[in-house]
Every structure is written in C-alpha cells, then in structure tokens.
Structure 1
Amino acid sequence: MDIGQRLKTIRLQAKLSQRELAKRSGVTNGFISQVEKNLVSPSIGSLKKLLDGFPMTLADFFADEDAVGADHPVVYRAEDQPERGTGDIGYRLVGGRFPDRHITLLRETMPPGADTGPDLLSHPGQECGVVITGQLQLQVGERRFELGPGDGYYFDSTEPHRFINIGEDELYIVSASQPKAL
C-alpha cells in the first residue's frame, strides 16, 4: 500500500488542507507533505496522530482498496437505487447517497398509457434522457415529439413539459437533470 497516496486521498476526500490536518492532529504541515510524497515513513504512533485528525482508525486506514472512498460511493447496485415514484410511474434514483450531488440521474418506468398528468411540469434547470424501450410522447411547450428506443431529448426544463407512454409495452427511460431535482 502507498501510505502517502492513501493519506492524501483520505485528506482530500475530507476536504482538508495539509495545514488544517496538521492543526487537528498536532503535527506540522511539512511532516504531512513529506508523508504524502513518501519522503518519510511515519511511525505507527505518528500515523495514529494523523488519523485522529479525521477521525479514522488504523484498521480503516489499512482496509482493502474496495473500502477506499466508501463515503463517496462509486457503484450503486439496482437494490441501492431508492424508488422515488408515485402512482404508476417509477423513478429509481442513481447516486442518491453521493455527498453534495449536483445531478439527478433516474431510471424511469412507465406502464402503457401512463402519463405525468394533464398539468405540464416545469422546474429550474435542464433535463435530458434516452428511451431504452417503449414509445414516448414528449410535450415541451406546444410541441409534441414521438421517441422510440435509442432516441434522446434535451430541453430547458423551465419550459412546461409532459411525458406519456404511447406504446403497448412498458416504457424505460434513463434521464438526467441539473440542478438536482430529487
């Protein structure tokens, strides 16, 4: 394990400067710099002092690579994507636990005939998506578009809009909006 790189990664994930970590742990920021550059190898006692600045245990520090960044998940398994839908329409949020998330990424499902409702939606930001399976009618303002598998859309979501499954099968869409909506 590259102790210097691991320490730097953890420090950056915690959004701490070397100076702030030094203040918290009672060592100099020069020492932290030398450790991160692998110019010195800290004793167990010195490493424990550094980790107390996060706080983090020695066991967590030396945990296997899969645990690195556990506070910033990268993979969100299907069962980890919370259902945010109401009624017939399903919205599965990808990345819901990611800290300071800026994007809403959804897996959307709509049964045949499902509709986001007669009142057009409107919210700040932009929205885009791709139809995976099924047939979508998208209304943006007064314009109506029919989309099938592989077709995508991108629009300013302050424009009133509506989604309708016009096909005989379930409609699957992967969509994103920014700023985050859910």
Structure 2
Amino acid sequence: MSGFDVGTRLKQLRQHNGLSQRELAKRAGVTNSTISLVEQNHVSPSVSSLKKILDAIPISISEFFAGEELAQEQIFYRAEELTEIGDGTLSWRLVGARRPNRRMSIIHEHYPPGSDTGADMLEHEGEEGGIIVAGTIELWVNGDVRRLNAGDGYYFDSRLPHRFRNVGDSDCVIVSANNPPSFADGGDSHHG
C-alpha cells in the first residue's frame, strides 16, 4: 500500500462538492456502503471502481492523487517524482501529473501476479497504446482477448470497453500513453 490516504481524500472531495455519501453513490452507480467503506479505508477500490466514483464528482484520477496544485513546467522526472495513481495493488505511475496543460498521459504500469483493473470494464475518451516491458498481460478490448508478452504492444480506441489482467506468475510492467489524458486527467467531462 502506498501512504496515500484514499478515504480521507475522497471524503474531503465529496464534502467540498456538497455531496452526501448517498448522492455520490447514486451518481457513481455503487452502493452507499461502498462509499462509506472506501472513505473509512476499510476497502481499497479497484482502478475501475475508483474511476466510476471520481467521474461522479467529477475529478480525474491524477487530480485526485496529485492534489490541486500545478507545478511549473518540468522536463525531466526522477522515478520518485512520478505520481502514483494505482489502487494499492496495481501501481500506475504518471509522468508529469501536475504539468499545466498536459495533453497526454504517460504511465509506468506495474501489475503483480493475479492483479486486475476490475470486472467493470474501463471506458474513456481518446486512444491508448503501450509496450509490455516485462511479464505477461491479458488484455480484453471490446470482447477480444489477447495475451501479450514482453516486447508486444497494443493500440486501441479507449472508448471501447477494456480490461487488463496479469494471469501470469510474475510481475508485468507496461509503459503506456493515452491522448487526450482523459483517463488520468479531467475526469469524465463529456457527460452533458
């Protein structure tokens, strides 16, 4: 687990936006108890569950983890300067989370054996691609399933339902990019 307090941050954001646990749960399509358990840090939400909850506020995953402040433009980032936007099991480290006017997300993804983005398929604006650096990942995109190994790559329309699962017995590492940075930035601002 990273030291980030997901529960307290979610509660602060919910209250700041004048939402009850019930209202946030209704908007996100989850149960009241889910919001309560996350806020008390009794349960760690999957990436897809957290995204559903944050979209209902709306706030992006990177804003959620980075806080509000934007940094000045930076060119080089040490490993410890990447912003963790994963769920405590999956590690997704975002390059330049606080960069003003960021127009893409570059993410160093780490999936331990058995980890999964969640049964709720991810869907967001834009397109994404990546290269598997180590290990094996099972990637589901719009009903099509492929097992990708180190050196393999992918590129797809992010609006198609997708899911990543490490079905191997070793860690899987991926370097990915998506544009626009809708998954890791800006929340789901396309709801009218």
Contact in 2 for aligned 1:112/1:166 (Cα 8 Å): yes
Return the TM-score normalized by structure 1: 0.60
Corresponding residue SS for 1:92: strand
Return the TM-score normalized by structure 2: 0.57
Letter of the 2:160 partner, please give it. Answer: E
Look up the match of 1:98: 99
Look up the match of 1:137: 138
CA RMSD of aligned residues (A): 1.2
Letter of the 1:87 partner, please give it. Answer: G
How many residue pairs were aligned? 113
Contact in 2 for aligned 1:89/1:111 (Cα 8 Å): yes
Contact in 2 for aligned 1:140/1:160 (Cα 8 Å): yes
Q: CA deviation at 1:108?
A: 0.5
Contact in 2 for aligned 1:73/1:97 (Cα 8 Å): no
Letter of the 1:174 partner, please give it. Answer: V
Cα deviation, 1:23-68, whole Å, max 9, x if unaligned, reads: xxxxxxxxxxxxxxxxxxxxxxxxxxxxxxxxxxxxxxxxxxxxxx
Q: Which has the higher contact order (CA 8 A, sep 6+)?
A: 2
Give 5+ residue unaligned stretches, structure 2: 1-70, 185-192
Corresponding residue SS for 1:175: strand
Corresponding residue SS for 1:136: strand
Q: CA deviation at 1:86?
A: 0.8
Corresponding residue SS for 1:129: strand
Q: CA deviation at 1:82?
A: 1.2
Contact in 2 for aligned 1:137/1:165 (Cα 8 Å): yes
Look up the match of 2:87: 86
The structure with the larger Rg is 1
Cα deviation, 1:109-153, whole Å, max 9, x if unaligned, reads: 111011111111111110101100010100001100110001000
Q: In the alignment, is residue 107 of structure 1 matched against residue 108 of structure 2?
A: yes
Give distance in 2, aligned partners of 1:110 and 1:79. 18
Give distance in 1, aligned partners of 2:80 and 2:153. 26
Q: Which aligned runs of 4 or more in structure 1 are off by greater than 3 angstroms?
A: none
Give 5+ residue unaligned stretches, structure 1: 1-69
Give distance in 2, aligned partners of 1:158 and 1:82. 24
Cα deviation, 1:56-115, whole Å, max 9, x if unaligned, reads: xxxxxxxxxxxxxx9321101101101111131111011223221000110011110111
Corresponding residue SS for 2:84: coil
Corresponding residue SS for 2:110: strand
Look up the match of 2:161: 160
Q: In the alignment, is residue 123 of structure 1 matched against residue 133 of structure 2?
A: no
Give distance in 2, aligned partners of 1:150 and 1:73. 29
Q: Percent identity of the aligned residues?
A: 45
Letter of the 2:146 partner, please give it. Answer: F
Alignment of 1:1-182 (within 5 A): 71-180=72-181, 181-182=183-184
